[in-house]
Amino acid sequence: MAEHTGASNGARQRRQRPRRLAAADVARAAVTQIGGLIDHDVESVIAVQRNDDDGWQVGVEVVESHRIPDSADILAIYEICLDDDGELLSYRRTRRYARGQTVGRSR
């Protein structure tokens, strides 16, 4: 009769646990999903934070209106909530402003 070791048992248990998404994976998922919903160019990811409960909160900066010159573009910050699998739960625009505008004055 073969003897089972704890090491192989532990390895099997590790494989069965679902893989948690890394922050970079969550950021990419947020950019892809919000881009399909709001039809604006995502400029950058400005925040990624794991929630205390389950899921993630991601902040992205979006170009809502391209202008000439570029310094007159209208940008917005969106807050995106995703579940542990990277699926969109909700989003909302939290700020809208002209590129280069200082903090404190928003539209």
**Residue type at position 42:** V
Q: Higher pLDDT residue, 63 or 2?
A: 63
Enumerate residues 6+ apart whose C-beta is below 8 A from 41: 35, 62, 63, 66
Contact 45, 27 (CB under 8 A): yes
What does the DSSP assignment read for 58-72?
A: EEEEEEEE--SSGGG
Confidence (pLDDT) at 96: 96
What percentage of the chain has pLDDT greater than the value 70? Answer: 77
Two structure tokens written together for 101? 């505008």
User: For 4-38, what is each residue's pLDDT tens digit?
Assistant: 555 555 555 555 556 678 999 999 999 999 988 99
